[in-house]
Every structure is written in structure tokens, then in C-alpha cells.
Amino acid sequence: MTEHFTGSFTQQDPIPEAGIDAALAVLRHGRLHRYNTAGDEVAETALLEREFADYVGSQYCLAVASGGYAMATALRALDVGPGDKVLSNAFTLAPVPGAIASVGATPIFVGVTEDLTIDLDDLEAKLPQARVLLLSHMRGHICDMDRLMAMCDAAGVDVIEDCAHTMGGSWNGVPSGRHGVFGCYSCQTYKHVNSGEGGFIVTDDPHLAAKSIMLSGSYMLFERHLAGPPKEAFDNIKFHTPNVSGRMDNLRAAILRPQLADIAAQCARWNERYHTLEDGLRDTPGLTLINRPDAEEIVGSSIQFLLLDWAASAVQDVIARCAARGVELKWFGAPDPVAFTSRYDSWRYAPSEPMAASDRILAGVVDMRVPLTFTLEDCALIARIIRAEVSSVYQSA
């Protein structure tokens, strides 16, 4: 009998009851704006910033409206603007080059390896072309950050980490987002904490933290940031930094605080599901699993594999066969963007040169979301379905 999966790939865990209660309290008192407080009340957003800074071990944290806004703010704080060039991954999602384009800069794309991380040899060759690297830890894959930072420090290149897929992950024990001058995170629904939209910026630099807070639209209320720098850090910038409003509100912060408190347990649950899928797919003919180094602490909220050097029609056949059995796979090799699976040559606002080695890898990347609403039995079933369909197509090719 042919097995089918009947679950949803877009259904998330419910918001914790503590988050619902906190959100209702905010709705009842009506003070949703982060700077609208009563008496000696400390805003939910300010509390969340302090808690997130403590979680990742940063000096400063700013909660903002989205992960994309976080990246654009980090670029602005580093004075990246029209005519500048910014290094970034060829394998990423549209908000990353979008953040670069939003400040008038131009991306210089860096290749991808079969481990789905940035190609450090290609990066080393391109470092002289820019003073900032916006590094995307795409789909949760963290490169050798020790080598990357040594290269960038030697070249005088500032690193902004896009940690939308790596909140809770680390490299050699250092949390994702704590290697570069900025770490940027997302709280969008399909990320590791869920407020619909939202994000964080962290840094240890008081000047950059102050600029980010002013950019976010603090007016002259920056002293209400529990995770902000001392007021002296604002003296030389407060009248010269534009307001590019993108604050997080107290409602989203209230929803997020209980989720942040439980994130270690949630990451462990994701990894159980990831490893169940990985074990089920191991040694499938024609399918290459992604190497995960011992130094990398992953958060398996999605899983990728390669159908490397397959004909496009064969990959599409696998995608269709799995879909017919209830398993939703995404492919990064399509000539035109499908849903979120755009690639560096899709973004016409960001001109690029062909990258043959990376194109070969992207043509084989298959991606799948792993919601926590999946059981381990669901993951084992999904792996059996993928294994059967990949094997069938591979053997008939």
C-alpha cells in the first residue's frame, strides 16, 4: 500500500498560553507603542531586548519590525549607501539582497559550496571589492566562522550576520550572530520564535547600537532601552541620524518573551525531527545529504539535500511525485522564482555575473520546512516517501 502524508507544512505550534495572557494584558491596557508606558512601567519591548541580549551574550539589543529591517538598519549604521558594494551569499533569500538594494548599494555575490555555506575561497578573492559582508546563514548552515572572521578582519571588512535561520545555533560554542559587528535575527512566523513579523539587532559597539536605536525611530526616548548603550553614546548622533521608523511594538514583544524563555527546548525538538529525517534519507541512491561539521550546533527547522547533476526534468519529477503523496519540497534550480525560492540571478535589481560552480549546486538544492507540529513518526514517514520517490526516479534515469 502506498503511504501518504496528510499533515501541513505551514502549521506552526500555537503561541504559548503565557504569551497569549501577556498579549491580552497589553491589549487591555492599550499601550502597544513601545514608548507608551504608565508611571514606572517598563515596556514589554524593553524587557524583551534585555532578555535577548542576555540569551546571545551581547552588550546591546534592539527589537525591530522585521529581519529585513534589521539588516538594512545594520547597513545604514555602518554608513553603507548609494554606490557602495556589499559582499553577500549567492545562495540566500530575497530579503538579503533586498536590504542591500534598499540603501542604494549593490551586492557582490559570493559562491556556495556543496555544504550550502558561503565559498570561503571565492570570498577571499572578492574581499578587496567591498568593506562590508552581509553573511547569510542560509537555511541554518553555518560556515567555518573562525576562518571567515580571520579573513575579514585581516581585510578590514565588517561582517553583518543574517541569523534568520540560526537563532539558537552556534559555531565552536559562539552563538550565531556574535562573530561579526552586528547580528540580525527574524521573528517571522516560520522562524524560531513567532510574532508574525519582527526582528532583533545585536552588537557590542555602543556607537553602532546608538545609531541603530536612533534609526529605528526612538526620537529622544533612547534612555528607555534597557539593552541600549549609555546616553553619552547618543550625544554626537542624536541630531544627525534620520528616523527610519521600524520599531517593534509591545504586543509582539509580549508574545515573544515566553517563546524566548523556551527556545532551548524548542531547538532540541527541531533537532530530533531533523535527525529523524536525516537518518531516514541516509544512503538513498542519487541523494546527497549536507555535511554538518562537529563545530556547528544546528537548529534543524528545515532540511536540505542535493540531487547533484540530475537533469532538471528528473528533479521536477521527484518534486511532483512527492507532492502527490503529501510531501512539499522546494527546488532552487527552477529558471524563474517559485514562492520564496528565488536565487541570485532572479533579482534584476541586483546585477550579477554567472557563477557556473554555484549554479551547478543550486540546480540540485531541494529544501523542506520542518514544523514542530510534525511528530517523529511524521518525519520517518516523510523520509520514506522521499527515499522511495528519489530512488524510483534515479533508477529509471
What are the strands of the beta sheet with 365-369, ordered from one edge? 288-289, 302-306, 365-369, 330-331
SS3 content of the chain, % helix, strand, coil (to 5): 40, 15, 45
Cα R_g (the chain), whole angstroms: 21
Q: Which of the listed residues 261, 277, 298 is the one where a domain comes to its end?
A: 261
Q: How confident is the model at residue 369 (pLDDT cuts 50, 70, 90)?
A: very high
Could you tell me if residue 1 is inside a domain? no
Q: Which of the listed residues 209, 238, 261 is the one where a domain comes to its end?
A: 261
Q: How many CB atoms lie within 10 A of CB 320?
A: 12
For residue 352, what pLDDT is reported?
A: 87
DSSP letter assigned to residue 303: E
Q: Which of the listed residues 261, 282, 304 is the one where a domain comes to its end?
A: 261
Say if residue 394's pLDDT is above 80. yes
Q: Give tens-digit pLDDT for 307-364.
A: 999 999 999 999 999 999 999 999 998 888 787 778 888 888 888 889 999 999 999 9
CATH of the domain at 220: 3.40.640.10
For residue 346, what pLDDT is reported?
A: 87
Q: Give tens-digit pLDDT for 268-304.
A: 999 999 999 999 999 999 999 999 999 999 999 999 9
Q: Could you give the 3-state DSSP secondary structure of residue 161? A: strand
Could you tell me if residue 223 is inside a domain? yes
For residue 250, what pLDDT is reported?
A: 98
C-alpha cell at 6: 496528510
Same-domain pairing of 231 and 121? yes
Same-domain pairing of 133 and 89? yes
* Domain, as residue range, for 232: 17-261
Distance CA 291, CA 297 (A): 12
* Count of positions (residues) in the chain: 397
Q: How confident is the model at residue 1 (pLDDT cuts 50, 70, 90)?
A: low
Same-domain pairing of 44 and 155? yes
Same-domain pairing of 131 and 221? yes
Better pLDDT: 153 or 351: 153
Same-domain pairing of 149 and 205? yes
Tell me the pLDDT of the chain averaged across its residues.
96
Q: How many CB atoms lie within 10 A of CB 54?
A: 12
CB-CB contact of 5 with 381 (8 Å):
yes
Residues 6+ apart with CB under 8 A from 61: 49, 50, 52, 53, 200, 201, 202, 227
Say if residue 73's pLDDT is above 90. yes
Say if residue 169's pLDDT is above 70. yes
Same-domain pairing of 63 and 80? yes
Average pLDDT over residues 26-34: 98
C-alpha cell at 66: 522585521
Q: How confident is the model at residue 28 (pLDDT cuts 50, 70, 90)?
A: very high
C-alpha cell at 188: 517571522
C-alpha cell at 204: 557590542
Nearest to 55 by CA among 240, 185, 191: 185
C-alpha cell at 12: 506552526
Same-domain pairing of 274 and 248? no
Same-domain pairing of 247 and 272? no
Burial of residue 107 (number of CB atoms within 10 Å: 0-12, 13-18, 19+): buried
Q: How far is CA 157 from CA 59, 102, 154, 285, in A?
A: 21, 20, 8, 42
Helix (H) or strand (E) segment spanning residue 369: strand 365-369
Average pLDDT over residues 90-114: 96
